[in-house]
Structure 1
Amino acid sequence: MALPDSGTALIDVPRQNGALTQPAAQTPRAPRLALLDGLRFLAAVLVLLYHYTAWRHEFWGTPMAKDAWPELSKFTLYGNMGVQLFFIISGFVILLSAYGKSASRFVGSRVGRLYPAYWVAVLATGFLVIVMWPKLGEGRGIKELLANLTMFHPMMGMRHIDGVYWTLWIELRFYLVILALILLRLLTIRGVTVFAVVWPLLGLGAELLGNGNATYLLMAEYAPLFAGGMMLFMIYRFGHNLQRWSILLLNVALSAYFTGLKAPVEAMELVGYHVAPWTYWLIVAGLFACVAALSLTPLRNVQWNFLALAGALTYPVYLLHQVWGWWLIDHLNPTLGKYLTLPIVMGIVFTAAYLVHRFVERPLAKPLAAATTKGLEFLGARGKKLLSPVLQRR
């Protein structure tokens, strides 16, 4: 989600002045962390299975999905933890997107990465829930479809065309946080270190005080996941020390705390299973441990080229799987039965994701990123020119 990040190749960050935004041309590209690509793809598959076989829906012809899959759902119940894993990895790799880039180049890279596949998914899913399957659309219309195309529709009070887009809104706000750090020149070793402590603790304080607005603005539930991923990156790039590991463990503990508050409630309401909070504490710790093992041990040197494609497919798989998957299950299961329907639906989703990646993302991502960057640089230059007389008078 690391959901929207297509790769985890990390550039060696120079130590000069502690900055993380030195020119990228100064250093060679480091080997790709291929296993993190594979881990992201696994997370997407787990989320997919959660939505198909555990999430509360009746498209298998049973009152709840778990009734159709009584044994499998005991495991896929935990598939929603793939979202936590996405956020941890995103915290790790987003510094790559920020490194060596001005604010305009960072925004351009994110626009090029996020929007091409997203626009296809919004239009495809919008057509499904507005035209083909309006009962699932619950009154959604063209106005909400157009608002969703911006990805800022929650600010407009508009519903998601597809419920899974809620994670994109969280990711987008995290990118805006990183953009603010770039603009404030705080994307430095010291700045990131301090930020990875202050941000999650402010979120915790807002939660404990019951301040809903501050909790929402600070993304209190997800801040330690992102911040923990950022600290794993700092350890990966700048080495081990007590301070970095202490901050990482703080964020692991906070992530476990917040997940333990919400996940058991969701397990009961959305799946119908009772799960103790400590189960989710262990899962969160295990997710951090997996990312650490794949980035901080010799496993980071594993180079399997097929995992790059797996990582690239993660985003379109996530965008396309839920509503279209439910529609396919609803239409295929009565004829084919569940044991054929599930693998066929998954195969269709993976094929669609590949087509989107091959014929939409690959040809459009770089040109869109370049055009966005150029436009922002032009606006920035014009703004400086207009403001220069005012600044000179001062």
Structure 2
Amino acid sequence: MSGTPGQLYSLQQGRGLAAMAVVLFHLSLMMGLPRYLGHPLFSEYTWRGNLGVDFFFVLSGFIIIFAHHRDIGRPDRLRNYVERRFVRLFPVYWLYAGIFCALVALGFGSNATLPETATQWLSTIFLIRLDKFTFPIAPAWTLVHELAFYLVFALLIIRGRLGMMVFGLWMLVCLLLREYPEYHDQTPWTTYFSPLNLNFLIGMLAWLAWSYGRPVVVKWALPAGVLLIALFYALESRGASYSQVQPGYAAGFGLIIAGAAALEAAGQWPSRMRLLNLIGDASYSIYLTHLAVLGVVGRVVFRIAEYVPAPPVLLYLLVFAGTVACGCLAHVWIERPLIAACRKRLSRKSSLVAQRAE
């Protein structure tokens, strides 16, 4: 396997591409606002950049089973699992959310709002949807799905058979519900039983295909996945609804992930692409901060453009590059040190607990 043990560069690179796709999707919409260009730019190419979220969910299913499949049915491994998931999800989110809420309270941000009720604040802090509202950091709605998956997977670790029954029942209800609410209409019911949660299962199945399939066959999953994505993209472009084609997109992403992992395991993947690897590592920071940073960078770039005229395409690229660069800097200067400090603290605490137990 390429890279360090337990690491797949291809998946990190895919994560980086997905994060940039989401940024491009929102940037094209932002350009349509009167204070910028007044019309969307490149929207005919980026209108499905939000599929990066679908990719993130499929990839999460793959990564969790990849990292923790040996923990299933071993309750003694629960603490390690919970600590790893907690450190990866919450500290960085809490810091960014705290900064964002403080800025909104001080009057910054034209469209952002703060939670208004106790349940909304609880939802914001603990990423458990208790109400129908928009999170201060808007992309955090996806983290609610992630946390739900993490909690159900924890049951697999505590009691394997019970966990499988609960996970299977959860997937069945999500499959039968088949309801895709609009962003501002998400409720606890439509969140926890959204068909989007099936993406986690597809990611787990992709891991099974990669782990136990014949490598010579699994390698072909990548081009097959690309063709499948192109097929359903064409169907949606010709009038099919997102709810009709979404499972096809997820299946395509699962094939791409399994195929990329197989190629890397065979040493046939360009793993040393430093910039893309960095963007992949920084994808969480990019994803959480990009909406706010797009607005700030956009205002700066367009203010400069008042004195130094530039074509719209160049302005678009400058805002995009600046937003991704800010996310990478946040990862290097904030996210990475914070996660390292949390892991060090938890490791020290675990050592003390072990010493006391002796």
TM-score (norm 2): 0.72
Letter in 1 for 2:175: L
Q: 2:61 aligns with which of 88, 91, 97?
A: 91
Measured after TM superposition, the shift of residue 297 of structure 1 is 4.0
The whole-number CA distance in structure 1 between the counterparts of 2:261 and 2:28 is 31
Does residue 113 (structure 1) correspond to residue 88 (structure 2)? The answer is yes
Match of 1:369 among 331, 343, 349: 343
2:142 aligned partner? 167
Q: Secondary structure at the match of 2:282?
A: helix
Structure 2 CA distance for partners of 1:134 and 1:368, relative to 1, 3 Å: same
For residues 144-190 of structure 1, the C-alpha deviation after alignment (integer angstroms, 9 at most, x for no partner) is 99757734363377741121111111111111111121112349xxx
Candidates 268, 283, 286, aligned match of 1:317 = 286
> Does the residue aligned with 1:135 lie in a helix, a strand or coil?
coil
Q: Against the structure 1 CA distance between its residues 200 and 36, is the aligned structure 2 distance closer, same or farther, given a 3 Å change threshold?
A: same
> Match for residue 213 of structure 2?
239
Query: 1:294-350: per-residue Cα shift (whole Å, max 9, x none)?
Result: 123467632325244232111111111012212432453254254343333233323
Aligned partners of 1:223, 1:76: CA distance in 2, in Å?
24
CA distance in 2, matches of 1:148, 1:332: 35
1:100-179 counterparts in 2 under 5 A? 100=70, 102-138=77-113, 150-152=125-127, 154-155=129-130, 159-179=134-154
Would the aligned equivalents of 1:313 and 1:357 in 2 still touch at CA under 8 Å? yes
In the alignment, structure 2 segments of 5+ residues that lack a partner are 72-76, 180-185
Corresponding position of 1:276: 240
User: Contact conserved, 1:40 with 1:86, CA < 8 A, in 2?
Assistant: yes
Change in Cα spacing, 1:185 to 1:85, as seen in structure 2 (3 Å) is same
Q: Deviations over 1:193-237 (max 9, x none)?
A: x777554223223448xxx98953643312221101001111222
2:301 to 332, 346, 351: 332
| Displacement of 1:107 | 1.0
Separation in 1, partners of 2:254, 2:352: 41
Within a 5 Å distance, the mapping from 1:1-394 to structure 2 comes to: 30=5, 32-54=7-29, 58=33, 60-61=35-36, 67-69=39-41, 72-100=42-70, 102-138=77-113, 150-152=125-127, 154-155=129-130, 159-186=134-161, 198-207=169-178, 216=190, 218-239=192-213, 275-277=239-241, 283-297=249-263, 301=267, 302=269, 303-304=271-272, 306=274, 307-333=276-302, 335-336=304-305, 338-369=312-343, 371-372=345-346
Contact 2:78-2:154 at 8 Å conserved across structures: yes
Q: In 2, distance between residues paired with 1:235 and 1:355?
A: 36
Q: 1:357 to 1:104 in 2, by over 3 A?
A: same
Per the alignment, residue 390 of structure 1 pairs with none
Is contact 2:27-2:294 (8 Å) kept?
A: yes
Distance 1:115 1:197, change over 3 A: closer
Contact 1:36 1:294 in 2 (8 A): yes
C-alpha distance in structure 1 between counterparts of 2:321 and 2:115, whole Å:
28
CA change 1:214–1:146 in 2 (3 A) is closer
With 104-113 and 339-348 compared, the bigger mean Cα shift is at: 339-348
Report if aligned partners of 2:27, 2:320 keep a CA contact under 8 Å in 1.
no
Query: How has the CA–CA distance of structure 1 residues 137 and 215 changed in structure 2, closer, same or farther, with 3 Å as cutoff?
Result: closer
Q: 1:59 to 1:196 in 2, by over 3 A?
A: farther
Name structure 1 gaps, 5 residues minimum. Answer: 1-7, 11-28, 265-272, 385-394
Task: Note the alpha carbon deviations across 1:96-137, whole angstroms, 9 max, x for none.
Answer: 342455111111111222234323321332244332434312
Match in the other structure for 1:392: none
Contact 1:112 1:367 in 2 (8 A): no
Higher mean Cα deviation, 33-42 or 83-92? 33-42
Given the superposition, is the C-alpha separation of residues 140 and 238 from structure 1 closer, same or farther in structure 2, using an over 3 Å criterion?
same
**Separation in structure 2 between the aligned mates of residue 293 and residue 374 of structure 1, nearest angstrom:** 39
Pairs aligned (count): 323
SS at match of 2:47: helix
- Identity of paired residues, percent? 22
Q: 1:153 to 1:180 in 2, by over 3 A?
A: closer
Q: Report the RMSD for the aligned CA atoms in angstroms.
A: 4.3
Q: CA deviation at 1:281?
A: 6.0
TM-score of the superposed pair, with normalisation by structure 1: 0.67
Residues 276 and 39 of structure 1, relative CA distance in 2, 3 Å threshold: same
Taking structure 1 as reference, are residues 158 and 294 closer, same or farther at Cα in structure 2, changes over 3 Å only?
A: same
CA distance in 2, matches of 1:319, 1:45: 12
Q: Is the 8 A contact 2:97 2:136 kept in 1?
A: yes
Deviations 1:358-382 (A, max 9, x none): 2333333244235447768999999
Residue 155 of structure 1 aligns to a residue whose secondary structure is: coil
Question: Does the 8 Å contact 1:98/1:178 carry over to 2?
Answer: no
Whole-angstrom distance in 2 between the partners of 1:42 and 1:80 = 12
Distance 1:185 1:373, change over 3 A: farther
